[in-house]
Structure 1
């Protein structure tokens, strides 16, 4: 049995960059893709499965002293999906799933950051997958540091809102409609 791809949503994870505040007098502006991860979790026939995106990129601006001014754009090339099997990866690229031939990139653009206290923030923005745009928001935990900061969070999406898993795959009986995007993003300070 193969594992279908359900996660462009992962890019939603990258959204986290648009978040956060803290005590460090540093402005962050460089995403460390090698130290960052964007993954996803879904359920197929009652079994929870994990996957990830091997590549993603982002532009961000985040000043802990002014989190409300933060901005983030994250792009995930969907052809880099890793569902755990070659068959699942190939199927994820098909028209019924991500249709990577017509829609090769998933994109998140932040629109605002709201402090929640204790280094937690709510990030809002627009997520585009397979030509479908949706407003999303999710909590992010910010961990400051002198040489890098991390942003951790997750976002639960309904795959059918983005046209992911059409036809025979549209039923939640085989693949659950809910997909959780999980991310750990590392950002480095801007050069002085």
Structure 2
């Protein structure tokens, strides 16, 4: 075999090997993961995050259609940057965390749309209300780990978040942008 052919064969094998995921991601690394949100209050943008969440994942980027993911977010772990707001948002009018302590997401379908880009369809349940959500997911390989990022717009009225005097959108907007950055690992 000539040198050019050997080099092409070696490059082809290396390229193929770099595209094959050795094992599916099966857990998340909480210290390297986050779930954040942005909203507008009286026209001013504000940010928040959830400090406690858990996930079960089984995702191989090469076999996305077989992937599964579920998340549980502890609503009382909300951090809006204001202790007063944190206490208010867990009340019955907002998350009602005493009756509904967790928000849940369960994937139904994951499909690849481009290299390292996917579309996820699943059910999001908050405060006893469940709705289908669809969002883009980006995968960035990081050695044996992978960074999974994405986001979607949640309509708080769909989940009865902000009842009574908070039901109108003049103080707190209906649209809440939810973003996540999840480091997934092959180990459990």
Q: Is residue 188 from structure 1 mapped to residue 185 from structure 2 by the alignment?
A: yes
Partner of residue 38, structure 1: 35
Aligned residues: 170
TM-score between the two structures when normalised by the length of structure 2:
0.88
Q: Is residue 156 from structure 1 mapped to residue 129 from structure 2 by the alignment?
A: no
Structure possessing the higher radius of gyration over alpha carbons = 2
CA offsets, 1:127-171, max 9 Å, x none? 000000001110011111322101111110100000000111111
Q: Is residue 87 from structure 1 mapped to residue 96 from structure 2 by the alignment?
A: no
TM-score between the two structures when normalised by the length of structure 1:
0.86
Measure the CA separation in 2 of the matches of 1:52 and 1:160. 19
Q: Is residue 97 from structure 1 mapped to residue 74 from structure 2 by the alignment?
A: no
CA offsets, 1:80-125, max 9 Å, x none? 0001111000001100000001000000000000111031111010
SS of residue in 1 equivalent to 2:27: strand
Partner of residue 167, structure 2: 170
RMSD: 1.1
Measure the CA separation in 2 of the matches of 1:117 and 1:147. 21
Q: Is residue 124 from structure 1 mapped to residue 110 from structure 2 by the alignment?
A: no
More relative contact order in 1 or in 2 (CA 8 Å, sep 6+)?
1
Is contact 2:80–2:86 with CA below 8 Å preserved after alignment? Answer: yes
2:105 corresponds, among 105, 108, 111, to 108
CA offsets, 1:21-67, max 9 Å, x none? x6433311011111101000000000000000001000010112211
Query: Hey, which bits of structure 1, 4+ residues long, moved more than 4 A?
Result: none
Q: What stretches of structure 2 of length at least 5 have no aligned partner?
A: 1-18
